[in-house]
Amino acid sequence: MKISEIASLLDAEVLCCKDGVFHQVHSACGSDMMSDVLAYVKDQAVLITGLVNPQVIRTAEMMDMRCIVFVRNKRPSAEMLSLAEETGIVILATQKRMFEACGLLYTNGLAPKEV
Amino acid sequence: MDNQSILSYTFNVDGNDFSSAGEASVQVKKILRNIGFDAEVIRRVSIAMYEAEINMVIHAGGGVAQLFVHPDKIILVLTDKGPGIADISLAMSEGYSTAPDNIRSLGFGAGMGLPNIKRYSDELDIQSKVGEGTTLTITVKP
């Protein structure tokens, strides 16, 4: 699935790195606990979260993720967007809640694991 | 201390600003990428380093991180003058955490840091004295 399709499925706004929306991604994870993302996630390209602080961007960066979706209408700060810009991580923001966002992406073909 | 490394780098980790935690890890990742290591090796080092750096900021008020690049291994040495770890085997168990609630609200402190560093590294050595500090030596072999 292209990141642009994620944006469209979640009715999400692209806040940063718009030229990255044509990247293909195959798997995602949803969590507000970065400790768990670092411990349990492997090869997932998309992080879906409602947590907003710069460590969310750094966590995604360390794990080579391509896209972060902020749910529940959470808006990342300018500092966070500039960190994401440096690394080229596409930032999306949606009004949908975590459960619905994950469900929509799962049923449309995004997997919990890389295949 | 490490005479055989072909490259070495030192980073100061600021313990007063949680939002800047991870800056040294970002630098390490860039250096390893420029050298040309395999992406999976870089990821293992980056995650181990980031966990250790976050720990240093949460528990020890910062410290010093060193990166030594050898032909056959990458070594990270993180030294702090924090409170030390009283029971290392307890600290190594998944889910055990002494992080305060404000750190949990930032998405960390699930008690997964040290076990996760061990998981991503080939060797992990922890030297710690209560009241004096902790030194972590993390080795990753490509």
Note whether residue B100 is domain-resident: yes
Which of B29, B40, B47, B76 would you mutate first to test chain A, the one with the most A CBs within 10 A?
Answer: B47
B128 touches chain A (CB under 8 A): no
* Contact call for B26 and A58, based on CB within 8 A: yes
Q: Decide if pLDDT at A51 tops 70.
A: yes
Note whether residue A86 is domain-resident: yes
Note whether residue A18 is domain-resident: yes
Note whether residue B2 is domain-resident: no
- Please give the torsion angle defined by the CA atoms of residues B74, A43, B64 and B135, in that order, rounded to the nearest 10 degrees: -70
Q: B111: which DSSP letter?
A: S
- pLDDT tier at A115, thresholds 50, 70, 90: low
Note whether residue A47 is domain-resident: yes
- Per-window interface: A 44-73 vs B, CB < 8 A: 51, 53-56, 58-59, 61-64
Report the domain count for chain B: 1
pLDDT, tens digit, 9 for 90 and up, residues B14-68: 998 888 999 999 999 999 999 999 999 999 999 999 999 999 999 999 999 999 9
Domain encompassing residue A86: 3-107
Instruction: Please give the C-alpha separations between residue A103 and each of A87, A98, A106, A112, B35, in angstroms, as whole numbers.
Output: 28, 8, 5, 11, 41
Q: Decide if pLDDT at B2 tops 80.
A: no
User: Where is B11: in which H helix or E strand?
Assistant: strand B7-14
Per-residue confidence (pLDDT) for residue B3, from 0 to 100: 59
Report the domain count for chain A: 1
- Under a CB-based contact definition with an 8 Å cutoff, are residues B36 and B99 in contact? no
Other CB atoms within 10 Å distance of the CB of residue A27: 18
Question: What is the share, in percent, of chain A residues with pLDDT greater than 70?
Answer: 98
Q: How far apart are CA B124 and CA B139, in angstroms?
A: 6
- Under a CB-based contact definition with an 8 Å cutoff, are residues B47 and A60 in contact? no
Q: How far apart are CA A10 and CA A12, in angstroms?
A: 5
Note whether residue A115 is domain-resident: no
Q: Helices B39-60 & B113-120, crossing angle to 10 degrees?
A: 160
Note whether residue B1 is domain-resident: no
Query: Which residue carries 């991180």 as its tokens?
Result: B65
Write down the ipTM of this complex: 0.90
Note whether residue A91 is domain-resident: yes
Note whether residue A90 is domain-resident: yes
Domain encompassing residue B17: 7-140
- Under a CB-based contact definition with an 8 Å cutoff, are residues A31 and A70 in contact? no
- pLDDT tier at B5, thresholds 50, 70, 90: confident
- Under a CB-based contact definition with an 8 Å cutoff, are residues A83 and A54 in contact? yes
Note whether residue A23 is domain-resident: yes
Nearest CA in chain B to A86: B26
Q: Decide if pLDDT at A15 tops 60.
A: yes
Q: How far apart are CA A10 and CA A96, in angstroms?
A: 7
**A39 vs B contacts (CB less than 8 Å):** 94, 110, 112, 115-116, 119
